[in-house]
Structure 1
């Protein structure tokens, strides 16, 4: 029996595309093949008209694997059908884009409050451009959706932002006269920005990141500063440090993951969050880490 047959076809695919530092943790998960099969079937059942090769789905899932200490929980709580659709949209599948339009974008207007029809149309057009179109050879933004929360909520956050930007353009009336309350009404309980709508929560997030940065070593902070703030490539860092590129890339990844792990501990303590709400907020932090580091370390 081959190694692939022993581990299971989907497990083998996931391991093949997973970062090296995640493979040991994945191999230690019980019934991983059955779990992956259930995720694939959830996507196929929810979107029967959307063809997506299993390996494409496993490659996409591998890209979004969380740190080892939350890996098992995140995989079991994965919004698999939503991730399946997002993956197919990122690949440019016509049926997936149609399903996204009909089942996700179609629900956005009802969550935008009292906006004119023309403004809603502009918001939807911005979402199509930002989420579904690639730029400069990069993957569409929807490829960043990690399945940690509902896709509809993830898109709704982008819609609220887009509406806010439009409200501040060309002398238009402010969309949010009272930002925290207005924003909270538009977000579901699991949306991270519902938590961040409170001023005390935003302050706790800033303090959590600062505390986590302080606990990193000087070298870890230097690597994060040079890569995320100054934009140095792994090749440039390897030349500076006189180490192999793969070694420097691993150090940067480890420093980033240690920062997120420490931030998670700080957030849990300061905001008394747990479960999906905490993981959703941490995912929000991770997706905006470059901006946060620039503000805190520049």
Structure 2
């Protein structure tokens, strides 16, 4: 391609991308190197998946729809562009792309599913359900794979989807005890905390729900998998292909962030003395897991 042709192609990519990015990402447009980075990422993705075809401008527009607000050039460059390219093609129903996705990633799902289903009885069924969820969409909607945003690898994201699908299938085979309606259940005779529970029940429920929604998608998914689906630290580590210490740290940070943000919401809503606020924090920390189970049970992976 001539220099002029390459420049025209870069301008086309930039225009397609800029037309779709969030409004508060305008600073990204002022950073040098955006045009070249887009062209390089498209070329790399095409080289990674030579049998998969996506129009370059359609691809960068697809990525723009999924970038986080306020992203900078470094963050944009760090997305899993090659995986996003494959996901973009799969979302259009491209058969070569779907075949490439299964060949590249579905074999790795067996290890993740084996930790949940020792007999292997559910593995084939779950993988078929995953195929249907990922690649088949209702009229007017996009398939599940379009939810992949590139913040992390596609393989890890698929393991989470498969794990949630397996857990849902396993859950259907047994009767679960009903969940309590209150995110603040019996507190075991602690008179002070029982008083706070009674006094601030509604405020806590609202604050916790608001705080939970502000968590990063990975944090919400970790809490759901651990609290709702009873995955151990080792299973979480295996699922995300990291050492158990990393999984434990992620989970601890998710709990701490949730408690802190719940406290912040309550502080804004309530007029309480410092000592009472500290007691409220004890209440929050003591009931994080059960509150997640009550308020976020049954959610989809994010």
Bin the TM-score by the shorter chain: 0.5 to 0.7
- Hey, what does 2:272 align to over in structure 1? none
Paired residues for 1:197-212 under 5 Å = 198=251, 200-210=252-262
Corresponding residue for 2:15?
A: 12
The Cα of 1:20 is off from its aligned counterpart by 3.2
Cα distance in 2 for residues equivalent to 1:216 and 1:15 = 37
8 Å contact kept, 2:87–2:148? yes
How far, CA to CA, are the matches of 2:69 and 2:267 in structure 1? 18
| 1:143-178 Cα distance to aligned partner (Å, 9 max, x none) | 111111010001111111122222222239xxx776
Q: 1:11 to 1:159 in 2, by over 3 A?
A: same
CA distance in 2: counterparts of 1:10 and 1:171, whole angstroms:
51
- Partner-residue secondary structure (3-state), 2:19: helix
TM-score normalised to the size of structure 2?
A: 0.61
2:238 corresponds to:
185
1:76 aligns with 2:128: no
Aligned position for 1:152: 155
Instruction: Determine which structure has more spread, i.e. the larger CA radius of gyration.
Output: 2
Q: How many residues align?
A: 213
* Structure with more contact order per residue of length (Cα contacts < 8 Å, sep ≥ 6): 2
**TM alignment of 1:1-298, pairs within 5 A:** 5=8, 8-22=11-25, 24-68=26-70, 70-114=71-115, 115=117, 116-171=119-174, 179-189=232-242, 194=247, 198=251, 200-210=252-262, 213=265
Change (3 A) 1:190 1:184: closer
**2:91, 2:146 within 8 Å by CA — same for their partners in 1?**
yes
Residues 216 and 95 from structure 1, CA distance in 2 versus in 1: closer, same or farther, beyond 3 angstroms?
A: farther
Segments of structure 2 that go 5 or more residues without pairing to the other structure are 176-228, 270-294
Kindly report the root-mean-square deviation, in angstroms, between the aligned alpha carbons of the 2 structures: 3.5
Partner SS state of residue 138, structure 1: coil
Query: 1:211 and 1:119 mapped to 2: Cα distance?
Result: 41
Per-residue deviation, 1:141: 1.3
- Residue pair 1:74, 1:148 contacting (<8 A) in 2 also: no
